[in-house]
Amino acid sequence: MANLTSSKGNTVFAFDMDGVIVDTVSLFYQAYDDFLKQFSHTSTPEEHLALNGLKIKQIVAYAKKKYALPKNEEELLTLYNQGLSVAYAHPELIPGVKRVINLLKENGFRLVLLSSSAKNNVDMVLNLFQLQKYFDFIMTGDDAIDKSSPHTYTQLKDALNATEMYVIDDSAIALQSAAAAHVQGIFFNPQRQKLTFPVEYDIQTMAEMERIMTEIKANCKTFLIHNNVIVTLIKNDVSYKEQENKVNQIWDAEKNLKKSLCNGTIVSYHSHALKDGSLVINCFLTEYKYFLAQSKIPSLNLPIFPLAVSGVIIDPENNVLVGQRKDVTEYEQCLELVPSGGISSEHVYNDKVLWEEQIKAEFMEETGMSSGDIKKITPFCLIFDKEHKVYDIGVKIMLATSLHQSFNSLKMDRNKEYKNYQIMGLKQIDALSTEDKVVPTSRVILKMITLG
**How many domains does the chain divide into?**
3
Domain boundary (218, 249, 281) is at 218
- The reported pTM is 0.82
CB 320 within 8 A of CB 338: no
pLDDT for residue 1 is more than 60: no
> Is the Cα torsion angle 280, 282, 288, 293 positive or negative in sign?
negative
Give the C-alpha separation, 189 to 191, whole Å: 5
The predicted-structure confidence for 381-403, as pLDDT tens digits, reads as follows 999 999 889 999 999 999 999 99
Assigned domain for 1 exists: no
Assigned domain for 140 exists: yes
- pLDDT of amino acid 272: 94
Q: Provide mean pLDDT across the span 162-178.
A: 93
- pLDDT of amino acid 53: 63
- pLDDT of amino acid 8: 53
The predicted-structure confidence for 308-330, as pLDDT tens digits, reads as follows 999 999 999 999 999 988 877 67
Confidence of residue 98 (pLDDT cuts 50, 70, 90): very high
CB 96 within 8 A of CB 23: no
pLDDT for residue 7 is more than 50: no
Q: Are 252 and 323 in the same domain?
A: yes
Q: Provide mean pLDDT across the span 427-445.
A: 80
- Choose the weakest-confidence range: 257-261, 277-281, 429-433: 429-433
pLDDT for residue 338 is more than 90: yes
CA angle 440, 444, 447 (to 5 degrees): 140
Q: Are 192 and 236 in the same domain?
A: no
- pLDDT of amino acid 104: 96
pLDDT for residue 301 is more than 80: yes
Q: Are 298 and 405 in the same domain?
A: yes
- What CATH number is attached to the domain comprising 104? 3.40.50.1000
Q: Are 14 and 33 in the same domain?
A: no
Q: Which residue has the higher pLDDT, 329 or 336?
A: 336
Q: Are 113 and 190 in the same domain?
A: yes
Assigned domain for 238 exists: yes
Contacts of 343 (CB under 8 A, 6+ apart): 231, 266, 267, 283, 306, 307, 308, 309, 353, 355, 358
Q: Are 37 and 162 in the same domain?
A: no
Q: Which residue has the higher pLDDT, 52 or 277?
A: 277
Of the candidates 189, 4, 197, 194, the one whose C-alpha atom is nearest the C-alpha of residue 94 is 189
- pLDDT of amino acid 56: 74
Structural domain range at position 265 = 229-451
Give the C-alpha separation, 84 to 271, whole Å: 48
Confidence of residue 410 (pLDDT cuts 50, 70, 90): low
Q: Provide mean pLDDT across the span 171-176.
A: 92
Confidence of residue 43 (pLDDT cuts 50, 70, 90): confident
The predicted-structure confidence for 193-203, as pLDDT tens digits, reads as follows 888 899 999 99
Give the C-alpha separation, 61 to 424, whole Å: 60
Domain boundary (186, 218, 250) is at 218
Q: Are 65 and 110 in the same domain?
A: no
Which segments of 1-143 are extended strands (E)?
11-15, 110-114, 137-139
Of the candidates 446, 395, 428, the one whose C-alpha atom is nearest the C-alpha of residue 217 is 446
Which segments of 141-183 are extended strands (E)?
164-169
